[in-house]
Every structure is written in C-alpha cells, then in structure tokens.
C-alpha cells in the first residue's frame, strides 16, 4: 500500500495553514478535499473580518490564537500581497445597560491582548462615524478586513510550492487505526475507492469534522464533538448608502455568543453588508430567505438610522460549525491529539467557528508544534 507521512482532511484556510506550517518537514503532506477546489466551505462564506480578540474568554484558545493569528495574518498579507486593510471597528451601545457591557468588553479585550482599544464618547463616535447612532462605542483600530478568496489561493500556492499535494474531489470515507498509523480510504473523482496508509491524520474538515472524527471510532456525543450547524445570512445595502459607514459597525454581542449580532461589514471593494443572523441550519442550503429582510432592517436600524427597508437585498450565507447546542454557552476551539481515544497520530480540530479565519495561521502553527512535540514529524 502507498505510504504517506501526514494526511490533512479539508483544504479550507485551516487545513491549508497547517500544511503550510509543516512546510519543508521530511514527510510527504497530502491534503484531501471533497469539493472541486480548496476554500469552498466555511472559508469563503464569512464576514472576512480580521478580529482583534475582544470577545473570547481569557485563557481560551480562541482568545490566544485570535490575537496571535491577527498579527501573523497581517505580516503574511504584507509579504504575499493578499489584500487586507485595517479599517477599524466600533461596537456601539444604544442604552445605559449596553454601556456597562461595553466597559466589560473593553477590559476583557485588553486582558486578551487586543491592542489600543478605547471607549469613544457619543461625540467621538459621531466624529468617527457621523451616520451611526449610539450613546458611546468601543473602538478597535486594528480590526481589519481581508479577501478570504485570495488568502485561500495564496495558501494553496504556498503548500504546492513546498511540495504538499492537494487532491480535490476526493473525500475521506473510512479511517482505521493500525500499529504504525492509519489506513485511509477515499472516494476519488471517478467514484472509485482507494486506500493508503498515513502516519499522521489531521482532521480540519470544518462542518464535517464530527463525521471525520466518528470515522476513526470516536463517540462524538461523548467527546463533545457533535456539530450543531448554525446558518448566518447576509443582506447587501444599496450602493447609494454604502459610503455612509466607513468602518465595521457592531452591536453589543449576545450573551451566549451564538453570533456577534447583525453587524455592518464592508468588503475591500467598499460594499456594505448586514449580517449574519444565527439560525439552526436544517440543511447545507446557502439560500437567503428574502422574508428575513424585515428582521435585519429592524435590528440594524437601531445603529444605522439612515436605512430604509428597500435598501436591503439578499446576499449570501455561511454555516457555523458550532459544538454548543442552541442556548448553551459558547465553547472553545477543540484542538486535540487523540491519544486518550487510543488514536496516537490523529489530531482533531472541531468547532472552528469565528475567529477561525483570523486564527488560521496561528492554528496552523499550534497544530504543527503539537505534532512535532509528540515526535510524529521532524
């Protein structure tokens, strides 16, 4: 049977970033992707915000990897020419209660290492964003936006240049532990099945990461790996109004962090979008329900009083790979070497929701360090 050193399941930003970090290690690195090209999953259906690390509990992987990943991404983009712009973000309070929440958020962000955060008075908010309504705001100057499609392409090229192989239209369908690693079975583009052995298997399968873990025999419910997908829809704001906001405008987040609340994001072309909402995903459909426009309008108009219902048109949607059930508190990223499950050599990345795009390079480094320290690659 053909032997591979490291097999990565999933060519989203995370799988590609892990392969890039493994770089010129002595092992053959193989990336399996079930879709026709890299980056067609969560990595290309998100807000494209490079977060500063404000929201996440102190000591969590999300907090540490977001702060580190944001710096790494900025350095990477400066070197490779992937478009990224620090346009800044305001989190806007519209009531006294929210003002207190902002102060807590500011403290938490600073403890996490988010830089140069400060509270803007109502007057300062008006100077920065004259068309945004709020009593005060938390300002994060280093939050940015990135072209996620260009990032995927750039990481893909780096991986190929370093000698990794990316097999598209190739899905992992079975995984069996052996004495020296794993037997991987895949369904190729022709529909036939093929098997090979791999010493290390890294599960970066995004929305299907629970399924991949269960292929290895892990009870995903007992392990807390079950994914409860949550859809997020976006609506586009008419071009005539897109210039009325200059940076990112967020509400004070929901307590359980199901989402960060419907916010206004700009992309690098200057377009303005509202989103995402948070709805349990019944299927993998990325359709946007036009009847949700009213709810978006009502929720965004508190901060953006210039909006009219006719300004909104359906845009796109993404699906978050949450490992918390609806109503449960937010959970941290899971990045685990599965020795306790008797699966030495398997690393699972589960629940890589936001800030996974911001954290892709730091996650890549974290996983590469983990497998080097375990002596799995040199």
Ligand X SMILES: Cc1cc2nc3c(=O)[nH]c(=O)nc-3n(C[C@H](O)[C@H](O)[C@H](O)COP(=O)(O)OP(=O)(O)OC[C@H]3O[C@@H](n4cnc5c(N)ncnc54)[C@H](O)[C@@H]3O)c2cc1C
Enter the tokens of residue 215: 């292929």
User: Up-side HSE of residue 7: CA atoms within 13 Å toward CB?
Assistant: 26
Q: Tell me how many degrees the CA angle 248-252-256 measures, rounded to the nearest 5.
A: 120
Within residues 82-101, the interface with ligand X by CB under 6 A covers none
Q: Work out whether 42 is an interface residue with ligand X (CB under 6 A).
A: yes
Q: Which range binds ligand X by CB under 6 A, 83-91, 113-121, 312-320, 322-330?
A: 312-320
**Among 181, 251, 261, 276, contact with ligand X (rule: CB under 6 A):** 276
Is residue 358 within the footprint of ligand X (CB under 6 A)?
yes
From the list 9-17, 102-110, 249-257, 370-378, the region that binds ligand X by CB under 6 A is 9-17
Bridge partners, 320 (sequence order): 230
Per DSSP bridges, beta strands 136-140 and 118-121 are antiparallel
The nearer residue to ligand X, 247 or 356, going by C-beta atoms, is 356
Other CB atoms within 10 A of residue 310 CB: 9
Q: Could you give the string, one character per residue 14-33, with x where binding to ligand X holds by CB under 6 A and - elsewhere?
A: xx----------------xx
Residue among 353, 361, 364, 367 that touches ligand X (CB under 6 A): 353
143 close to 52: Cβ distance less than 8 angstroms:
yes
Q: Decide if residue 242 touches ligand X (CB under 6 A).
A: no
Out of 144, 251, 261, 355, point to the residue binding ligand X (CB under 6 A).
355
* Contact call for residue 181 and ligand X (CB under 6 A): no
For 121, the token pair is 């008075």
Asked if 226 touches ligand X (CB under 6 A), the answer is no
Residue 309 DSSP label: G
Instruction: Answer whether 286's CB lies under 8 Å from 318's CB.
Output: yes
Instruction: Write the CB contacts of 80 (distance below 8 Å, at least 6 apart in sequence).
Output: 154, 158
Write out the binding residues for ligand X, residues 44-63 only, by CB under 6 A.
45-49, 51
Instruction: Supply the minimum distance, in Å, between the C-beta of residue 77 and ligand X.
Output: 14
Q: Residues in contact with ligand X, total (CB under 6 A)?
A: 41
Q: Is 117 in the site for ligand X (CB under 6 A)?
A: no
Rule CB under 6 A: say whether 364 interacts with ligand X.
no
Query: Judged by CB under 6 A, which stretch of 97-105, 236-244, 317-325, 338-346 contacts ligand X?
Result: 317-325
What's the rounded Cα separation, in Å, for the pair 326 and 257? 11
Q: Which residue has the tokens 């930003």?
A: 13
For ligand X, the closer of residues 87 and 212 by Cβ is 212
Question: Residue 90 and residue 68: Cα distance in Å, rounded?
Answer: 21
Buried b or exposed e, range 220-247, using 16+ CB within 10 angstroms: beebebbbbbbbbbbbbbeeeebebbbb
Among 204, 272, 335, 346, binds ligand X (CB under 6 A): 204
Tokens encoding 113: 């290492």
Instruction: Assess contact for 70 and 50: CB atoms under 8 A.
Output: yes
Q: Is 205 in the site for ligand X (CB under 6 A)?
A: yes
Give the residue, chosen from 237, 319, 330, 346, that forms a contact with ligand X under the rule CB under 6 A: 319
- 35 touches ligand X by CB under 6 A: yes
Residue nearest ligand X, CB atom distance: 356
Q: Tokens standing for 100?
A: 């207190």
Report the alpha-carbon distance of residue 39 to residue 9 in Å, rounded. 12
Q: Which residues bind ligand X (CB under 6 A)?
A: 9-15, 32-35, 40-43, 45-49, 51, 171-172, 204-208, 212, 232, 276, 318-320, 352-358
């Amino acid at each position: 049977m053909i032997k591979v050193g490291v097999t990565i399941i999933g060519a989203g930003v995370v799988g590609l970033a892990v392969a890039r970090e493994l770089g010129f290690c002595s092992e053959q690195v193989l990336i399996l992707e079930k879709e026709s090209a890299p980056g067609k999953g969560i990595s290309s259906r998100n807000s494209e915000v490079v977060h500063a690390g404000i929201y996440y509990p102190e000591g969590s992987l999300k907090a540490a990897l977001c702060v580190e990943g944001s710096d790494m991404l900025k350095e990477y983009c400066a070197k490779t020419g992937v478009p990224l712009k620090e346009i800044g973000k305001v989190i806007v309070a519209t009531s006294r209660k929210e003002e207190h929440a902002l102060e807590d958020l500011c403290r938490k962000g600073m403890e996490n290492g988010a830089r140069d955060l400060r509270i803007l008075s109502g007057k300062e908010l008006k100077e920065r964003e004259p068309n945004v309504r709020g009593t005060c705001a938390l300002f994060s100057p280093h939050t940015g936006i990135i072209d996620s499609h260009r990032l995927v392409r750039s990481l893909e090229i780096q991986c190929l240049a370093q000698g990794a192989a990316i097999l598209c239209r190739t899905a992992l369908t079975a995984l069996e532990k052996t004495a020296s690693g794993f037997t991987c079975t895949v369904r190729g583009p022709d529909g036939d099945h093929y098997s090979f052995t791999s010493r290390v298997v890294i599960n970066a399968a995004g929305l299907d990461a629970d399924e991949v873990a269960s292929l290895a025999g892990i009870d995903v419910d007992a392990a807390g790996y079950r994914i409860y997908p949550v859809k997020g829809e976006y609506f586009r704001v008419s071009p005539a109004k897109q210039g009325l906001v200059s940076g990112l405008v967020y509400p004070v987040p929901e307590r359980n962090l199901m989402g960060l609340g419907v916010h206004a994001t700009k992309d690098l072309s200057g377009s303005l979008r509202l989103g995402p909402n948070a709805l349990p995903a019944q299927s993998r459909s990325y359709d946007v329900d036009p009847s949700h426009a009213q709810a978006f309008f009502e929720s965004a108009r508190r901060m953006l009083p210039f909006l009219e219902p006719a300004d909104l048109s359906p845009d796109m949607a993404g699906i978050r790979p949450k490992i918390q059930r609806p109503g449960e508190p937010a959970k941290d990223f899971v990045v685990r070497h599965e020795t306790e499950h008797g699966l030495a050599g398997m690393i699972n990345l589960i629940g890589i929701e936001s800030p996974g795009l911001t954290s892709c390079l730091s996650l890549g480094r974290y996983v590469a360090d983990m497998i080097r320290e375990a002596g799995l690659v040199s």
